Amino acid sequence: MLIRDIMNVLDAELLTGEELLDVDVHTACGSDMMSDVLAYVKDQAVLVTGLLNQQAIRTAAMMDMVCVIFVRGKRPDQKIIECAKENGIAVMTTTHRMFTACGLLYKAGLNGGMKVK
């Protein structure tokens, strides 16, 4: 699905990354712990998180992810948005909670990648 479809599914507000709306993504990861994202993400393109800091963006960038979604209506400050711009990452915020946001995306066709061995 496209990043613009994610926006619709989550009724989310795009905060930066207009130019990435037509990027096609297939897998996502939901976590507040960046340690786990770094250890377990393989080729997931989307990060769903409740962690509101620049490391959420930098971690996504390190993993070559293209979109970060903040749940529970969390609003990143300007520094976080700047960080995302520099790293070419689309950022959106949704009022859904983590479980619901992940469930909606899964139902819409995104998957989570492989099981942890």
Partner 1 sequence: MTVNSLHYHYDVPGDDFTRAGVASGAVKQILKQLGLNPETVRKMSIALYEAEINMVIHGGGGVIDIDIDDDKIVALVSDQGPGIEDLDLAMQEGWSTASEQERNLGFGAGMGLPNMKKYSDELEINSEVGVGTSVKITVNIEKSGEQRD
Query: Any contact of residue 64 with partner 1 (CB under 8 A)?
Result: yes
User: C-beta of 51: minimal distance to partner 1 in Å?
Assistant: 4
Distances in Å between the alpha carbon of 112 and those of 2, 20, 27, 117? 16, 21, 5, 14
User: C-beta of 12: minimal distance to partner 1 in Å?
Assistant: 21
Residue from 35, 67, 30 nearest 50 by CA: 30
Query: Any contact of residue 59 with partner 1 (CB under 8 A)?
Result: yes
Query: Any contact of residue 114 with partner 1 (CB under 8 A)?
Result: no
108/56 Cα distance (integer angstroms): 24
User: C-beta of 58: minimal distance to partner 1 in Å?
Assistant: 4
Q: Which of 22-30, 49-57, 68-76, 98-106 is the region at the interface with partner 1 (rule: CB under 8 A)?
A: 49-57
Q: Which of 9-17, 22-30, 54-62, 98-106 is the region at the interface with partner 1 (rule: CB under 8 A)?
A: 54-62
10/23 Cα distance (integer angstroms): 17
Beta strands in the chain (DSSP E): 13-16, 28-30, 46-49, 67-70, 90-93
Among 38, 75, 97, 109, binds partner 1 (CB under 8 A): 38
